[in-house]
């Protein structure tokens, strides 16, 4: 890839980011001249830059955006939320394209159609969209021509509205449920649900990635259908079509070959061969011949397809026609890379002063290393041990300090401002609030607070969820707020600050708050707690129930909260990173959720323990004490053991048992016990032996090991031995 | 819980959301002869639908919800 192209990618990413920020600012204050100018400049530059390369749909789209913006700039149009929506969509589409350009070097195949839809959206001329596509039914909806007789009968004839909906693979994360959208389509006559790409084996399937493609026909007008897809306009193509009464399926245009070309006629002929009467054996052999012929023709057209797919398509004439009308699926390679995009842009920007500090320390390290040589010589010369020991001690102390400083400097390199996780929030709040018909002001504080980049990665998803949750369940609709004597618009505050050795992020809203009484009732109704136990909960504990697995506070599951991550997942993610979650809520006044995370994940101090011959690490932060307990002091009721430690009765768990290792058969007078302080009380962990304490660099489990529960990661000890660091919360 | 998993029968009840996707995927992988009962299911999230399409478990009972019965049931019955 040329340098110029690389530069365009970087520049386009920056420009799109700037434009997004300016558009948000402009929507808040439509009179903001500076933002209009900035937005216009960004589109203008994008147009110019993209024209240097072969990406006509991109240029066309930003050109249309520029036209719309020039109306804004000249004061001929004002920015309304209705106008902001398509502009945001244009920015989103451009960002997706830039990502595709970065990975694949070219725009995706559907770029021209996507650009057309968005350009029409900018013009605000929905009617034009319908008429433009009406004539070109086969072009825009090739599958229409290949409906089975049964599907045709169900759809009826005449004017219909065709819907082609290819959901964004990541759409589950934004709360979309593509199938549910079709419930809102009036007079649904046909719904075809197919895999957009060959379905992978179940074990390799990512359950949170949408791989389906929806095609539908409705008897209602396009205008009546469109509202159902209001939230996903860039993923759906809707247009009026006219279905001719079912004739012979001979009029099917064959997408893979030019009309009337020899190849097209040959392919049509293959369909007729399949329809010829004959015995089962005859038909089978014909099918095989047709499959070979189709494969050969497709290969000669430069569109080779998978043999199995062709064989499946040759089952009957209609299937073959459908297969040829849609064109064989392209190899899936250009489709799959997008998942890897987030990683591509993870360059770390480092302040020069931090680099300098690190360099200075490295210099010092060389000086200290230089002292080792003379010491070594003195030892070889047989110098007295006492003197040598004193100097060696001094050397060791200096090295210790230096290593500590170096580590600190290296960690500071990894510190990044929280702005990174705050950046997506304004747009998320804007879109979500608009979808929910609420007015919400977002206040961000402390974006300059720094945390380790691993912590930021942990923080991102839970933060998005908390914000979404506050918008969805916390802040009330304007009419209810007015009745409650509040201003109609809600306020959502996200605040970050540093706190002793860690970073704290608070998400607070001035919404309805959580009613502890309702929580108690729900807990009892869901069978999470006995009614008595629920009634005995303090208000604070009752509110904390939102973090219990399988608990949802809302009476009805809205389309936003019906997503994969619940509050229990937020808690789990934060606790896995060694952090804490607290919640405080006042009914009627609002809710505050506070996430406290350590400043860094990288270095963890662990106690090394031994069980069944293997070494494990337990984070020191969890260890309340280590002691030997005489066997006699351990009380056993059946297999449940307990021990009295520091005047408390503590349940005793044997690590060998937890890890599924054989019991220790050696007869011992006492057990080595590590007292672990977990969120829900202390646990005594019996181990074979306790070793040193060590600072280790914790490496999370990767690959197939990632799904392994109960381990926080692996780490290497000073002497090179590898240990598994236990995640006791998960293990117990 | 909207989906109740037995050793080889999963009962879908009321509105089944994306939160069930992971447990469902795990169950489909481990169950020897998975069968699903959709009769009491009122809403089936797309994430669950695509898992069912990929795994093709036997349909023990078709959905009664009108929308699902018309558009999803036949698809799954065909798959099984």
Which pLDDT value is given to residue A461? 82
Quote the minimal CA–CA distance from A503 to chain B in Å. 29
Interface-testing mutation among A169, A179, A559, A564, with chain B (most B C-beta atoms within 10 A)? A179
Q: Model confidence at A458, in pLDDT bands (50, 70, 90)? A: confident
Cβ contact B24–A550 (<8 Å): no
Which pLDDT value is given to residue A260? 64
CA distances (Å), A138 to each of A146, A208, A241, in order?
10, 33, 9
Query: Is the predicted pLDDT of residue A250 greater than 50, yes or no?
Result: no
Quote the minimal CA–CA distance from B68 to chain A in Å. 9
Which pLDDT value is given to residue A135? 40
Of residues A247 and A550, which shows the higher confidence score?
Answer: A550
Angle at A599 (CA atoms; ends A593, A605), nearest 5 degrees? 120
Q: Model confidence at A342, in pLDDT bands (50, 70, 90)? A: very low
Cβ contact B49–A177 (<8 Å): no
Sort out which chain A residues have CB atoms less than 8 A from B1's CB and list them: 550
Query: Is the predicted pLDDT of residue A304 greater than 80, yes or no?
Result: no
Cβ contact B49–A207 (<8 Å): no
Query: Is the predicted pLDDT of residue A555 greater than 70, yes or no?
Result: no
Query: Is the predicted pLDDT of residue A553 greater than 50, yes or no?
Result: no
Lowest mean pLDDT segment, chosen from A56-65, A299-308, A381-390: A299-308
Half-sphere exposure of A177 (CA within 13 A, CB side): 26
Same domain flag for A489 and A563? yes
pLDDT digits (tens, 9 = 90+) for A669-693: 888 899 887 766 788 999 988 888 8
The tokens describing A402, both together, are: 């230096």
Sign of the CA dihedral with A708 first, then A711, A714, and A717 last: negative
Q: Model confidence at A244, in pLDDT bands (50, 70, 90)? A: low
Strand partners, A502: A499, A598
Sort out which chain A residues have CB atoms less than 8 A from B21's CB and list them: 172, 207-208, 564
Using alpha carbons, select from A14, A85, A5 the residue that is nearest to residue A53. Answer: A5
Tokens 């998803």 belong to residue: A461
CB B55 within 8 A of CB B30: no
Which pLDDT value is given to residue A340? 34
Number of domains in chain A: 6
The tokens describing A326, both together, are: 């849609």
Cβ-Cβ pairs closer than 8 A, A with B, add up to 82
Sort out which chain B residues have CB atoms less than 8 A from A563's CB and list them: 17-19
Q: Model confidence at A435, in pLDDT bands (50, 70, 90)? A: confident
Mean pLDDT of A1-18: 84
Quote the minimal CA–CA distance from B19 to chain A in Å. 4
Sort out which chain B residues have CB atoms less than 8 A from A205's CB and list them: 25, 50-51, 54
Query: Is the predicted pLDDT of residue B20 greater than 90, yes or no?
Result: no
Mean pLDDT of A230-245: 79
Q: Model confidence at A492, in pLDDT bands (50, 70, 90)? A: very high
Mean pLDDT of A400-408: 85
CB A114 within 8 A of CB A166: no
Same domain flag for A565 and A450? yes
Query: Is the predicted pLDDT of residue A346 greater than 60, yes or no?
Result: no
pLDDT digits (tens, 9 = 90+) for A258-273: 666 777 777 777 777 7
Lowest mean pLDDT segment, chosen from A181-190, A298-307, B48-57: A298-307
The 3 state secondary structure assigned to A114-144 is HHHHHHHHHHCCHHHHHHHHHHCHHHHCHHH
Using alpha carbons, select from B48, B13, B78, B22 the residue that is nearest to residue A180. Answer: B48
For residue A559, is it within any domain? Answer: yes
Which pLDDT value is given to residue A679? 64
Q: For A163-190, b where at least 16 C-beta lie within 10 A, e where not — what string?
A: bbbbbbbebbbbbbbbbbbbeebeebbb
Sort out which chain B residues have CB atoms less than 8 A from A150's CB and list them: none
Mean pLDDT of A74-103: 86
Same domain flag for A105 and A130? no
Lowest mean pLDDT segment, chosen from A146-155, A393-402, A716-725: A146-155
Q: Which of B19, B25, B45 sits opposite A205 (nearest CB)?
A: B25
Which pLDDT value is given to residue A337? 36
Tokens 């399926």 belong to residue: A249
Using beta carbons and an 8 Å cutoff, which residues of B are at the interface with A? Answer: 1, 15, 17-19, 21-22, 24-25, 28-29, 43-47, 49-51, 53-55, 67, 71-72, 75
Of residues A275 and A627, which shows the higher confidence score?
Answer: A627
- Provide the domain limits for residue A182: 126-247
Using alpha carbons, select from A312, A112, A145, A327 the residue that is nearest to residue A243. Answer: A145
Q: Determine the Cα–Cα distance for residues A648 and A426; give it in Å rounded to an integer.
A: 49
What dihedral do alpha carbons B14, B15, B21, B27 form, nearest 10°? Answer: 0
Q: Which of A413, A444, A459 is the last residue of a domain?
A: A413
Half-sphere exposure of A642 (CA within 13 A, CB side): 11
Which pLDDT value is given to residue A25? 87
Cβ contact B29–A203 (<8 Å): yes
Which pLDDT value is given to residue A179? 92
Interface-testing mutation among B5, B10, B56, B71, with chain A (most A C-beta atoms within 10 A)? B71
Which pLDDT value is given to residue A608? 92
Which pLDDT value is given to residue A629? 87
Cβ contact A208–B21 (<8 Å): yes
Which pLDDT value is given to residue A728? 82
Same domain flag for A135 and A212? yes
Q: Determine the Cα–Cα distance for residues A118 and A233; give it in Å rounded to an integer.
A: 9
Residue B63 three-state SS:
coil
Same domain flag for A574 and A613? no
Q: Which of A303, A337, A371 is the last residue of a domain?
A: A337
Q: Determine the Cα–Cα distance for residues A203 and A642; give it in Å rounded to an integer.
A: 41
What pTM, to 2 d.p., does this model score?
0.48
Same domain flag for A203 and A286? no
Q: Which of A565, A598, A631 is the last residue of a domain?
A: A598
Quote the minimal CA–CA distance from B64 to chain A in Å. 15
Same domain flag for A356 and A328? no
Same domain flag for A449 and A590? yes
Query: Is the predicted pLDDT of residue A52 greater than 90, yes or no?
Result: no
Strand-strand pairing, A590-598 and A502-509: antiparallel
Query: Is the predicted pLDDT of residue A563 greater than 80, yes or no?
Result: no
Which pLDDT value is given to residue B37? 92
Q: Determine the Cα–Cα distance for residues A520 and A530; give it in Å rounded to an integer.
A: 10
Where in A510-613 does DSSP place strands (E)?
A: 580-586, 590-598, 603-611
CATH of residue A104: 1.20.120.160
Quote the minimal CA–CA distance from A550 to chain B in Å. 8
CB A622 within 8 A of CB A604: no
The tokens describing A607, both together, are: 């106690």
Using alpha carbons, select from A496, A488, A507, A342 the residue that is nearest to residue A429. Answer: A507
Using alpha carbons, select from B66, B22, B69 the residue that is nearest to residue B48. Answer: B22
pLDDT digits (tens, 9 = 90+) for A117-175: 888 888 764 433 333 333 444 456 777 777 777 777 777 777 788 898 988 888 887 77
CB A425 within 8 A of CB A467: yes
pLDDT digits (tens, 9 = 90+) for A583-642: 888 888 899 999 988 776 656 778 899 988 889 999 887 888 888 888 888 888 777 888
Q: What is the mean pLDDT of chain A?
A: 79
Query: Is the predicted pLDDT of residue A532 greater than 80, yes or no?
Result: yes
Cβ contact B25–A562 (<8 Å): no
Sheet holding A158-165, edge to edge: A188-195, A212-218, A158-165, A236-243
Query: Is the predicted pLDDT of residue A317 greater than 50, yes or no?
Result: yes
CATH of residue A494: 3.30.565.10
Query: For residue A690, how many other CB atoms are within 10 A of its CB?
Result: 18
The tokens describing A122, both together, are: 């900018």
Q: Determine the Cα–Cα distance for residues A602 and A700; give it in Å rounded to an integer.
A: 10
For residue A441, is it within any domain? Answer: yes
Same domain flag for A381 and A423? no
Of residues A200 and A405, which shows the higher confidence score?
Answer: A405
Query: Is the predicted pLDDT of residue A248 greater than 50, yes or no?
Result: no
Same domain flag for A324 and A453? no
Cβ contact B46–A203 (<8 Å): no
Using alpha carbons, select from A610, A622, A604, A623 the residue that is nearest to residue A716. Answer: A604
Q: Which of B25, B46, B55 sits opposite A178 (nearest CB)?
A: B46
Same domain flag for A171 and A32? no
Q: What is the per-residue DSSP string for A367-425?
A: HHHHHHHHHHHHHHTT--HHHHHHHHHHHHHHHHHHHHHHHHHHHHHTEEETHHHHTTH
Query: Is the predicted pLDDT of residue A177 greater than 80, yes or no?
Result: yes
Averaging pLDDT over each range in A45-54, A248-257, A334-343, A661-670, which range is the top one? Answer: A45-54
Which pLDDT value is given to residue A139? 54
Sort out which chain A residues have CB atoms less than 8 A from B22's CB and list them: 207, 564
For residue A543, is it within any domain? Answer: no
For residue A524, is it within any domain? Answer: no
Same domain flag for A453 and A587? yes
For residue A532, is it within any domain? Answer: no
Phi, psi dihedrals of residue A588, rounded to the nearest 5°: 90, -20
Q: Model confidence at A84, in pLDDT bands (50, 70, 90)? A: confident
Q: Model confidence at A284, in pLDDT bands (50, 70, 90)? A: confident
């Amino acid at each position: 890839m040329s340098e110029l192209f690389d530069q365009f990618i970087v520049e386009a990413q920056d420009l799109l980011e700037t434009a997004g920020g300016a558009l948000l600012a402009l929507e808040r204050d439509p009179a903001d001249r500076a933002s209009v100018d900035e937005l216009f400049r960004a589109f203008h530059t994008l147009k110019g830059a993209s024209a240097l390369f072969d990406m006509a749909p991109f240029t066309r789209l930003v050109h249309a955006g520029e036209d719309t913006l020039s109306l804004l700039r000249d004061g001929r149009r004002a920015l309304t939320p209705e106008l902001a929506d398509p502009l945001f969509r244009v920015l989103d589409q451009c960002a997706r394209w830039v990502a595709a350009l970065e990975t694949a070097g070219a725009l995706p195949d559907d770029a021209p159609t996507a650009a057309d839809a968005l350009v029409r959206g900018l013009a605000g001329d929905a009617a034009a969209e319908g008429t433009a596509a009406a004539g070109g039914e086969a072009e825009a909806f090739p599958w229409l021509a290949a409906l089975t007789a049964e599907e045709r009968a169900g759809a009826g004839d005449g004017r219909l509205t065709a819907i082609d909906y290819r959901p964004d693979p990541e759409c589950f994360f934004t709360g979309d449920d593509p199938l549910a959208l079709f419930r809102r389509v009036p007079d649904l006559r046909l719904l075809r649900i197919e895999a957009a790409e060959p379905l992978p084996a179940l074990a390799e399937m990512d359950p949170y990635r949408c791989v389906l493609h929806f095609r539908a026909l409705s008897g209602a007008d396009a205008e009546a259908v469109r509202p159902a897809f209001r939230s996903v306009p860039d993923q759906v193509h809707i247009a009026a079509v006219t279905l001719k009464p079912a004739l012979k399926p001979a009029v099917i245009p064959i997408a893979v070959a030019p009309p009337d070309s020899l190849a097209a006629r040959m392919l049509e002929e293959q369909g007729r061969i399949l329809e010829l009467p004959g015995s089962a054996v005859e038909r089978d052999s014909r099918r095989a011949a047709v499959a070979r012929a189709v494969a050969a023709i497709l290969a000669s057209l430069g569109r080779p397809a998978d043999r199995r797919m062709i064989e499946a398509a040759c089952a009957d004439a209609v299937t073959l026609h459908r297969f040829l009308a849609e064109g064989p699926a392209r190899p899936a390679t250009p489709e799959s890379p997008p998942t890897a995009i987030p990683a591509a842009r993870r360059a770390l920007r480092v302040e020069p002063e931090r680099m300098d500090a690190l360099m200075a320390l490295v210099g010092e390290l060389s000086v200290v290393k230089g002292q080792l040589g003379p010491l070594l010589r003195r030892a070889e010369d047989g110098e007295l041990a006492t003197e040598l020991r004193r100097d060696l001690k001094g050397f060791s102390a200096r090295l210790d300090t230096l290593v500590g400083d170096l580590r600190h400097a290296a960690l500071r390199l990894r510190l990044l401002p929280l702005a990174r996780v705050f950046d997506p929030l304004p747009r998320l709040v804007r879109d979500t609030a608009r979808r929910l018909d609420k007015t919400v002001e977002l206040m961000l504080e402390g974006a300059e607070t720094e945390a380790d980049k691993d912590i930021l990665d942990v923080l991102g998803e839970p933060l998005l969820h908390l914000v979404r949750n506050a918008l969805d369940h916390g802040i009330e609709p304007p009419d209810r707020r007015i009745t409650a004597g509040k201003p109609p618009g809600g306020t959502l505050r996200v605040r970050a600050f540093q706190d002793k050795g860690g970073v704290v992020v608070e998400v607070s809203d001035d919404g309805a708050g959580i009613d502890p009484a309702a929580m108690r009732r729900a807990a009892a109704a869901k069978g999470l707690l006995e009614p008595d136990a629920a009634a005995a909960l303090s208000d604070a504990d009752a509110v904390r129930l939102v973090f219990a697995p399988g608990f949802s506070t809302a009476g009805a599951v809205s389309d936003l909260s019906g997503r994969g991550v619940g509050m229990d997942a937020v808690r789990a993610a934060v606790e896995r990173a060694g952090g804490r979650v607290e919640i405080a809520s006042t009914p009627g006044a609002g809710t505050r959720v506070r996430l406290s995370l350590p400043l860094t994940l990288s270095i963890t101090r662990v106690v090394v323990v031994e069980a069944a011959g293997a070494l494990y690490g337990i984070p020191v932060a969890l260890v309340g004490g280590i002691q030997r307990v005489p066997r006699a002091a351990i009380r056993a009721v059946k297999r449940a053991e307990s021990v009295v430690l520091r005047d408390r009765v503590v349940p005793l768990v044997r690590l060998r048992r937890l890890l599924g290792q054989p019991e220790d058969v050696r007869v011992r007078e006492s057990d080595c016990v590590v007292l672990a302080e977990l969120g829900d009380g202390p646990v005594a962990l019996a181990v074979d032996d306790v070793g040193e304490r060590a600072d280790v660099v914790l490496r999370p489990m990767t690959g197939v090991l990632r799904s392994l529960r109960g381990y926080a990661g692996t780490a290497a000890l000073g002497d090179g031995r590898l240990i598994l660091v236990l995640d006791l919360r998960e293990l117990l | 819980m909207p989906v109740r998993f037995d050793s080889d029968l999963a009962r879908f009840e009321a509105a089944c959301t994306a939160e069930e996707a992971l447990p469902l995927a795990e169950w489909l992988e481990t169950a020897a002869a998975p069968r699903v009962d959709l009769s009491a299911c009122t809403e089936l999230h797309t994430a669950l639908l695509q898992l069912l399409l990929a795994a093709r478990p036997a349909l023990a009972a078709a959905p009664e919800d009108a929308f699902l019965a018309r558009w999803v049931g036949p698809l799954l019955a065909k798959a099984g």
